[in-house]
């Protein structure tokens, strides 16, 4: 099954379609945060991120950027470090939905033997402090445990009585179908130090960010990966 083309979700404006992972250990991703590509960050996701980071001891966390990873059952995400953000003292929040995965958490270099762990639907991982810049990868997507096509938390549609419910029944149907064969991971990041501002495209800081990226890629790889229907990564940047 091919991953459907990315669409606007919850007001996300995507600044780039990222690429991509194949079924080996290769990974690549364009990593750029530019002022010109800012768009409003979804309020509900920012609130959730605030609550999670507060509970983990990071009251000042500001949700400024996000990546959506869409995984097929045979997708994988290669080994990488998330270092494009300018502020690494803030945590990186990772939310998982749908089918499960194996997550490998390594060390500060590629040589360190990784610790494998399972990520299930509804799990939240917080990479902070020493773990913020550790190598990691997602080598396998697996059926969620316990039987049934969908994890229990996704098996019932959201209540239509709730006026704050953002997901319409027809949207839910699409999501429900999609999640039966897929995993979605959403990472939320603070990019800037407190009081910082996004670089403009082409300015010195922008160049530094792009060059400093450990899994920087070129457009052609992204395009090729999309043609093959590989895992898609989508990035959004916020504005106040
Ligand atoms: O899918 C995952 O659990 C990890 C995603 C990730 O490492 C990333 O987006 O940088
Ligand atoms: Fe990552």
Q: State the ipTM, two decimals.
A: 0.99
- CB of 141 within 6 A of ligand 1: the answer is no
The rounded Å distance from CA 70 to ligand 1 centre is 10
Residue 87 marked as a ligand binder: no
- CB of 182 within 6 A of ligand 1: the answer is no
DSSP strand pairing (65-71 vs 183-189): antiparallel
Q: Tell me the average pLDDT of the chain.
A: 77
Report phi then psi at 236, rounded to 5: -130, 145
The rounded Å distance from CA 201 to ligand 1 centre is 25
pLDDT in tens, 135-176: 999 999 999 998 889 998 888 887 777 777 777 888 889 999
Ion ligand 2, residues whose Cβ is below 5 A away: 82
For each of the chain's 240 residues, which pLDDT tens digit applies? Answer: 344 433 333 323 333 333 333 232 223 344 578 888 788 888 989 999 999 999 999 999 999 999 999 999 999 999 999 998 999 999 999 999 999 999 999 999 999 999 999 999 999 999 999 999 999 999 999 999 988 899 988 888 877 777 777 778 888 899 999 999 999 999 999 999 988 888 888 775 544 444 333 443 333 334 444 444 445 565 544 444
What is the spatial distance between Cα 101 and Cα 136, in angstroms, rounded to a whole number? 13
Protein residue with its CA nearest to atom 3 in ligand 1:
185
Alpha helix segments (H runs only) across 88-137: none
Confidence at residue 160, expressed as pLDDT on a 0 to 100 scale: 75
Ligand 1 atom closest to the Cα of residue 119 is 3
> Regarding the domain delimited by 16-146+167-237, which CATH topology (the fold level of the hierarchy) does it fall under?
Jelly Rolls (2.60.120)
The rounded Å distance from CA 103 to ligand 1 centre is 9
* DSSP assignments along 32-90, one per residue: ---GGGB-PPPHHHHHHHHHHHHHTT-TT----EEEEEEE-TT--EEEE----SS--SS
Domain-wise residue ranges, the chain = 16-146+167-237
């Amino acid at each position: 099954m091919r991953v459907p083309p990315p669409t606007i979700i919850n007001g996300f404006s995507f600044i780039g379609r990222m690429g991509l992972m194949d079924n080996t250990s290769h990974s690549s991703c364009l990593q750029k945060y530019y002022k010109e590509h800012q768009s409003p960050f979804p309020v509900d996701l920012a609130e959730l991120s605030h609550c999670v980071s507060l509970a983990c001891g990071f009251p000042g966390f500001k949700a400024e950027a996000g990546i959506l990873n869409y995984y097929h059952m045979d997708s994988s995400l290669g080994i990488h470090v998330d270092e494009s953000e300018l502020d690494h003292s803030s945590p990186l929040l990772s939310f998982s939905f749908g089918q499960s995965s194996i997550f490998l958490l390594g060390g500060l270099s590629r040589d360190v033997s990784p610790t494998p762990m399972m990520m299930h639907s509804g799990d939240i991982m917080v990479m902070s402090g020493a773990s913020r810049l550790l190598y990691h990868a997602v080598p396998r997507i697996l059926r969620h445990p316990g039987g049934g096509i969908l994890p229990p938390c996704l098996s019932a549609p959201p209540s239509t009585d709730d006026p704050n419910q953002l997901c319409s029944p027809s949207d839910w149907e699409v999501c429900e179908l999609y999640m039966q064969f897929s995993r979605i991971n959403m990472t939320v990041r603070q990019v800037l130090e407190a009081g910082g501002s996004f670089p403009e495209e082409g300015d010195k800081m922008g160049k530094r960010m792009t060059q400093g990226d450990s899994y920087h890629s070129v457009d052609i790889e992204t395009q090729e990966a999309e043609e093959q229907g590989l895992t898609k990564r989508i990035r959004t940047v916020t504005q106040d």
